[in-house]
Structure 1
Amino acid sequence: MNIAILGCGTMGTAYAHNLAKMPGVTVTGVVDLNAERAEQAAALTGAKGYTDVDSLLEQKDLETVAVCLPTYLHKPFVLRLAEKGLHVICEKPAALTLEDAQEMKAACEKHGVRLFIGHVVRFFPNYQDAYRKAHSGHIGTPKMAHFKRYGSYPQGMDLWYNDPGKSGGVIMDLMIHDIDFACWLFGEVESVYASIVKRAEPEMEYAQLTLHFKNSSIASLTGYWGYPGPFTTQFEISGDQGIIRFDSNQVQSLDIKRVSAEAGDGAAVQVPASPSLHDPYYKEVLHFIECIRDGSEPLVSIKDACYAVQIAQAAEQSAQTGQPVTIGGTVS
């Protein structure tokens, strides 16, 4: 598989590290407007560095492109790559609006190429373990969940993160991870209610979402840009027979407490993170590449990615109006 990387910032560099050691994969080019960043990524992969996309697209043997650009640039470049007959692995979110994401999906289908969106949380062992436990009867039927995701305010990104018209803000950029996971866990959303608190000095953006699902489940999501501590993710999934908890700041990976049929039996089962040679980003990209090779369906589909954008958009609308937003229909 010959693949190129478009954008050599934080995520582009992560892709470069992983693709460089992936068997059967050759990085044939890396592109960034910043020549220094392009050269650094080129050094990691042994590929040629470019500062313009046109030069990269002259390569005759290119098959796939990893799009690691700012969110507002996803649509125009994905459309262009699709027209060139190239498969695309694009970082999340797919786009800033559902309409743009659907246009990307339609263009790739028209030109017969695959489009994958990097919702990497589905590839994190702790989240995968929790999903399997929640759907295998360990806690009965999952009914409620609470997800938290805290991190420092993005810095050094040419300030595009500071413009919600380019990044989508904390909901679209950060919380979309947990939106996607919650939808994977519970299914279709019936309504969303959201509120956001922003501060300029020091920079902070804090959001709370409540998702009501069509199966009567409820999920509460919290996202925080500007958190003064280490990057933190937490979740709690409650069923009618127990609860699953995870806190990235704890040593243990999962804590499952089950309701026992016998009084006084309150056993806790701890499930550690699976030992792994490669990080979740490696597993995610390798999975997408394997889907291209054998035509199989991915763990996270472009339909899933479009749906996550739809829910994030609805949450933004709710935060602006102060009213819950009903989700109509399903994403095709």
Structure 2
Amino acid sequence: MRVAVVGCGGMGRVHAGEFAIMPGVELVGVCDIEYHLAEELAARTGTQAFSSYEQMMSQAKPEVVSLALPSHMHKEYICRSAKLGVHVISEKPISLKAEDAREAIQACEQHSVKLFLGHVVRFFPEYAQIKKAVDEGILGKVGVVHLKRVGSHPGTAREWYFDEEKSGGVIVDLMIHDIDFALWTLGEPKSVYTLRRTREASDYALITLVFHNGAVVNLEGHWGDPGNFRTSAEFAGSGGVIRTDSENSKSITIRKAALDSKGNRFAEIPESPSVRSPYFLELEHFINCIREDSNPTVTPADACRALIVANAARESADTGQVVYFGHEFGRETYQ
């Protein structure tokens, strides 16, 4: 399977590094308009560097393209890749607007290529175990959930993160991970209410999601936290409680700081103690879905629903009002 990576920033380096060691995969190129980033990554992963997407696609001829671009560019490059007949792996979010997500999904369907979205939390073993415990009824009826994800502000190293029209802010870029996990685990949401405060290099949000099954989920996210990147999750049900906290799991958790081209930290990527990182497991799963023509754990419809909820949370923060979801939310996958 011939794979190319577009975007050689933090997540692009993660994707390229995993593809470079993946059995049955050939990393045929990496691309970035900041050519020195592509050169550095190509040297590290043993592939060819490109400064032009068009040149890479025509010369390297990948079967799969992995997009690790700023969020506002996802839809454009999903559509461009689909028109070339190339399968697409894109970092989350699928786009910044639901209508753009629909267009991206339709482009892939029209050109008969597969589309995969990087909601990697589903591949972290501790979160997968929580999902399994909920599905098997070990916790009984889930009542209250707390999900937290905080770290430094990535805008201090990549300025586009400060522009909400390009990043979607802390809710769409960071908290969408926990939004997706909550939807995956608990089903159809009923309403969302958000409190949010932003200033300079700080973007904080507290979201309350109410589900039709009665569960209440509190999500906390912060860009600009003075400590290390950290996550936690707690699901409390009638039959028990299950929790994970990266701060209390240091004996089995590795936290690695990703660096930009100048050596500055811009994102911290928590890793699993397992033999393969969650990113390897995620990308390998996507490649296997192409080979086997099977459905992925994360579907385009899943990614679209997470985006709809994230943008509803932003709307609630702006208006100070609860936003209610229609009864067709779980069935009308792209609205």
Same fold (TM over 0.5): yes
- How far apart, in 2, do the equivalents of 1:76 and 1:219 lie? 33
RMSD: 1.6
Name the residue aligned to 2:240: 242
Name the residue aligned to 1:183: 183
Name the residue aligned to 1:27: 27
Q: Highest Rg: 1 or 2?
A: 1
Calculate percent identity across the aligned residue pairs.
46
Name the residue aligned to 1:65: 65
- How far apart, in 1, do the equivalents of 2:290 and 2:306 lie? 23
Name the residue aligned to 1:141: 141
Is the contact made by 1:126 and 1:253 (CA closer than 8 Å) also made in structure 2?
Answer: no
**Residues 140-159 of structure 1 mapped to structure 2, 5 A cutoff:** 140-155=140-155, 157-159=157-159
**Residues 30-179 of structure 1 mapped to structure 2, 5 A cutoff:** 30-59=30-59, 61-155=61-155, 157-179=157-179
Stretch moving more, 41-50 or 160-169:
41-50
- CA shift, 1:245, in A, is 1.2
Unpaired stretches in structure 1, ≥5 consecutive residues: 255-272
- How far apart, in 1, do the equivalents of 2:158 and 2:149 lie? 23
Match of 2:213 among 199, 215, 223: 215
TM normalised by structure 2 equals: 0.90
- How far apart, in 2, do the equivalents of 1:123 and 1:239 lie? 23
State the 4+ residue runs in structure 1 displaced beyond 6 angstroms. Answer: none
Post-superposition Cα deviations, 1:13-66, rounded to whole Å, max 9, x if no partner, equal 011111100000001111001111101111122211000111012136420000
SS at match of 1:30: strand
Match of 2:307 among 306, 309, 316: 309
- How far apart, in 2, do the equivalents of 1:43 and 1:53 lie? 18
- How far apart, in 1, do the equivalents of 2:288 and 2:188 lie? 28
* In the alignment, structure 1 residue 8 sits paired with structure 2 residue 8: yes
Match of 1:206 among 204, 207, 214: 204
Q: How many residues align?
A: 312
- How far apart, in 1, do the equivalents of 2:58 and 2:247 lie? 47
SS at match of 2:94: coil
SS at match of 1:282: helix
- How far apart, in 2, do the equivalents of 1:66 and 1:126 lie? 26
Is the contact made by 2:195 and 2:317 (CA closer than 8 Å) also made in structure 1?
Answer: yes
- CA shift, 1:241, in A, is 1.1
Is the contact made by 1:16 and 1:44 (CA closer than 8 Å) also made in structure 2?
Answer: no
- How far apart, in 1, do the equivalents of 2:194 and 2:251 lie? 29
Match of 1:276 among 274, 277, 280: 274
Give the partner amino acid of 2:312.
Answer: A
Give the partner amino acid of 1:212.
Answer: V
